Amino acid sequence: MSRLTAQINPSGVDPEELRRIPLFAALTPGQILDLSQMLRKRKYSSGDVIFHQGDEGESFYIIEGGSVRITQLSEDGRELTLIVLRDGDFFGDMSLLDGDPRSASAITAEDTEVLMLFRDDFMNFIIRYPPASLEILRVLSLRLRRMDEVLGEAIFQTAAVRLARRLMELMAIYGQAMDEGTLLNVVLTQTQLAEMVGLTRVTVNKELAQMEEMGVPKRIKRKIVILDEEHLKRLALVAA
């Protein structure tokens, strides 16, 4: 057992586990130990709401294991999944940084374990550890870049291109190599997939059926296998 593992603190957070989280990669062992005393661990079941859009922001979250959908509701009650976050990703930063209410809801997509930092501890953390603050800025910049792309797509691209691009994104996150192709190892209903692309369920169903005819994806129960990645890239208008 390493020196760090031996020092699991009363909050139940193992400093050794923290080393594997990209946000904490540049911290010294002493800093990791300090941090482990501030973090709290919490477990959620699949489908649990961690917080709602509009709530006051009280904590910052890091996913230790599992996945979380970040969603917004339209005024007529439709849900849009902005992104699905996975192990090592963080969320809940925006309302702590700007003081406004939660910009979106966070809902677990499977059984999920998170680490939480209360607002004051989060503020101390980013002030005290500049490498971690730089990592947060890098991720915020990536998110802005991605949302610029999604906005451009929504205005300039067809439903088929948008769906193909989301499938490629899901492949990068959940892809698991199989004999036949790549399994997107996540259970997504067609409604949830539609919410991610900003299309209706009927349109997604129609586009998926057309792609299936071309031999690109195949639906197996509630999962999707990508059979022809090169063709998917062409549909997404992504250079090979």
Interacting residues toward ligand CMP by CB under 6 A = 57, 70, 82-83, 91-95, 102-104, 106, 143, 147
CA distance 165 to 83: 13
CA 56, CA 237: separation in Å to the nearest integer?
40
Which two structure tokens, joined as six digits, stand for 47? 């489908």
φ, ψ dihedrals at 86, nearest 5°: -130, -170
Beta-strand pair 40-44/112-118: antiparallel
Rounded to a whole number of angstroms, the minimum distance from the CB of residue 23 to ligand CMP is 13
Any idea what DSSP says for residue 162? H
Nearer to ligand CMP, 196 or 224 (CB): 196
Greatest Cα pair distance in the chain: 57
Smaller CB separation from ligand CMP, 16 or 153: 153
Nearer to ligand CMP, 34 or 58 (CB): 58
Contact 161, 236 (CB under 8 A): yes
CB of 83 to ligand CMP, least distance (A): 4
Nearer to ligand CMP, 80 or 225 (CB): 80
Task: Report, in Å, the least distance between residue 150 CB and ligand CMP.
Answer: 8
Q: How near is the Cβ of 170 to ligand CMP at its closest, in Å?
A: 15
